[in-house]
Structure 1
Amino acid sequence: MSSGAALADRIAVVAGATRGAGRGIAAALGEAGATVICTGRSSVTGRGGSDYDRPETIEGTAALVDDLGGTGVAIQVDHLDPDQVRGLADRIRSEFGRIDVLVNDIWGAEILKGEPPQWNRPIWELDIADGLRILRLGIDTHLITAHALLPLMVERPGGLLIEMTDGTAEYNAANYRISVFYDAVKSAVNRMAFALGHELTPYGATAVAVTPGWMRSEIMLEHFGVTEENWRDADAPPGFAESETPRYVGRAIAAIAADDDRSRWHQRSVSAADLARAYGFVDVDGRQPDAWAHME
């Protein structure tokens, strides 16, 4: 994929940019020259209520954007707090005037969803407080963010809303996903792209639900005791061979944003691999992995 400066005039917000897909998306938008506002709770100034105790920060993501040719801006925000998100909107309006691309990647429930031995249990065997927290982190955050930030995107036509999820609408409709709480969140986010897309249509904006495949996030690499340099040595299920870096789905979002015909994806639910085939971009290692094609 040619990085160039295809998005040099764009103001992008990646909500939930600290790590994983969010960091990969911010990085790929930076590759394309965008100004990327990186939000999240984990900052050099403190965790900001984060459910994770990890070293990644929004400042680290913003620095990566800078290194790749874009302009990174780190703003600490808890997207569960409407007042903080309204404050974010006010700051963006004051400093940048608009939003061209909004990526709703907020999650934060990786620990709460548990490890594979805890999956596929009936609701009455799960902790209800953890389950409801998953719903808040995965659904409420997206709605709060859309409510506050979309007014900055609809002031002129051509805006792009990306709702990040796990699994396409088609896949999730046919497959149970980990637990009733996780299943509800990931199905809801797909539908959210459809519903918000309905509301954005009169304003000439595009809304798309996008899923990565099996993503080698910081947490995933740590889980298998490997790094990005030796990930193939992981003692992991065979499907891990089709895993991808977070930059892959990031390049998918950058490709949509740079496409003048992006409305062809409006209200659809697609994977990074779907978009790689459509646009021809590759992961950082030159591959076009498609983990979903190998799902049983």
Structure 2
Amino acid sequence: MSTAAVSEDPKTPRDLRGRVALVAGATRGAGRAMAVELGRAGATVYVTGRTTREHVSEVGRPTETIEGTAELVSAAGGTGIVVPTDHLEPERVRALVERIDRDHGRLDVLVNGVWGGDHLLDFDTRVWEVELEKGLRMLRLGVESHLITSHFALPLLVRRPGGLVVEVTDGTAEYNGPRYRGNLFFDLAKNAPIRAAFGLGEELREHGCTAVCLSPGFLRSEEMLDALGVTEENWRDAVAKEPHFAIAESPVYIGRAVAALACDPDVARWNGRSLDSGRLAREYGFTDADGSRPDGWRYIIEVVHGGRDASVEDYR
């Protein structure tokens, strides 16, 4: 199922018309889906990333481009605007925000979703055994890029009360806090957005704006589907190889989570907190693209690590 083919979730009100969003890191996966679902709710969405139809980033996936994402945003009912941007280059980020200011004079939603470091990751490798260049690159991609983007984008976002910043990571505070993620650089990169959302929440509060950290569960990204040799249409065939993949969720799910947050007039109740798609689905009533409601992190904590004797269907 393509993202463009997903019908509007009736639980998510279409009230983002006139709002402007920046989704940093919207080339594929969760970032792409968040951009599309914000568009489906009526927003104008600036779509950024490094892979275009003329240039492929170090991730090496040429078929997933920011142009493709912007087209999906517009097809869903929003306005997708492509701005090729490497968020590790401060002057390019500055120029991006200046363009948004010139064009609209406002920024209502910032999604800090830049990553692209999976190809650098070696799990269960001690810090003195990791290739230092790879480790430091992960930190630049997962932490420095977010800080640069917030530095330039937040002066525009705080002009109006109600702005929302979404720091995207892998894992919740409940999961990541007591557990080591198997690679020190990766662990730091995925815990930093949780802390960043807390700190940004403190800084944004006086401006009437909100920051949260958001994680998908077991995400059926394009890269994960390829790794398991399946597609979105037959993804359940991979459960035989990876049993816990039965809890997997499509990128649409976290996209709907972001749209629900952005549409919530009381979103400030989440300020500074670590959230995930499953929890927000219970709160806001949206579902995944197939009508299910997977609760991935609760399943991982209670069943995978906690040893609870339960069926995956109890968590969908």
- 2:16 and 2:62 map into 1 onto residues whose CA distance is 31
Relative to structure 1, the CA distance from residue 120 to residue 41 in structure 2 (aligned partners, 3 Å threshold; closer, same or farther) is: same
Kept after mapping to 2: 8 A contact 1:37/1:72: yes
For the aligned residue pairs, the C-alpha RMSD in angstroms reads 1.1
Corresponding residue of 1:108: 116
- 2:47 and 2:118 map into 1 onto residues whose CA distance is 20
Corresponding residue of 1:162: 166
**Long gaps (5+) in structure 2:** 1-8, 306-316
Letter in structure 1 aligned against 2:33 = G
Corresponding residue of 1:255: 260
Q: Work out whether 1:72 is the aligned partner of 2:80.
A: yes
Pairwise CA distance, 1:4: 5.6
Kept after mapping to 2: 8 A contact 1:4/1:31: no
Q: Work out whether 1:212 is the aligned partner of 2:216.
A: yes
Kept after mapping to 2: 8 A contact 1:239/1:291: no
Pairwise CA distance, 1:254: 0.4
> Per-residue displacement from partner, 1:157-204 (whole Å, max 9, x unpaired)?
110000001111121111111300000011111000001111111100
Kept after mapping to 2: 8 A contact 1:243/1:290: no
- 1:72 and 1:270 map into 2 onto residues whose CA distance is 26
- 2:219 and 2:241 map into 1 onto residues whose CA distance is 13
Corresponding residue of 2:193: 189
Letter in structure 1 aligned against 2:26 = A
Q: Work out whether 1:286 is the aligned partner of 2:313.
A: no
Kept after mapping to 2: 8 A contact 1:28/1:250: yes
Kept after mapping to 2: 8 A contact 1:12/1:100: yes
Query: 3-state SS of the aligned residue for 1:175?
Result: coil
- 1:136 and 1:87 map into 2 onto residues whose CA distance is 20
Kept after mapping to 2: 8 A contact 1:14/1:37: yes
Kept after mapping to 1: 8 A contact 2:88/2:145: yes
Letter in structure 2 aligned against 1:257 = A
Q: Where does structure 1 differ by over 4 angstroms across 4 or more consecutive aligned residues?
A: none
- 2:200 and 2:67 map into 1 onto residues whose CA distance is 30
Kept after mapping to 2: 8 A contact 1:239/1:294: no
- 1:236 and 1:160 map into 2 onto residues whose CA distance is 39
- 2:280 and 2:263 map into 1 onto residues whose CA distance is 13
Q: TM-score normalized by structure 2?
A: 0.90
Query: 3-state SS of the aligned residue for 2:111?
Result: strand
Aligned length: 291
- 1:124 and 1:223 map into 2 onto residues whose CA distance is 28
Q: Work out whether 1:241 is the aligned partner of 2:249.
A: no
From 144, 150, 153, the counterpart of 1:149: 153
Query: 3-state SS of the aligned residue for 2:95?
Result: helix
- Which of 22-31 and 274-283 deviates more? 22-31
Letter in structure 1 aligned against 2:275 = V
Pairwise CA distance, 1:113: 1.2
- 1:264 and 1:50 map into 2 onto residues whose CA distance is 38
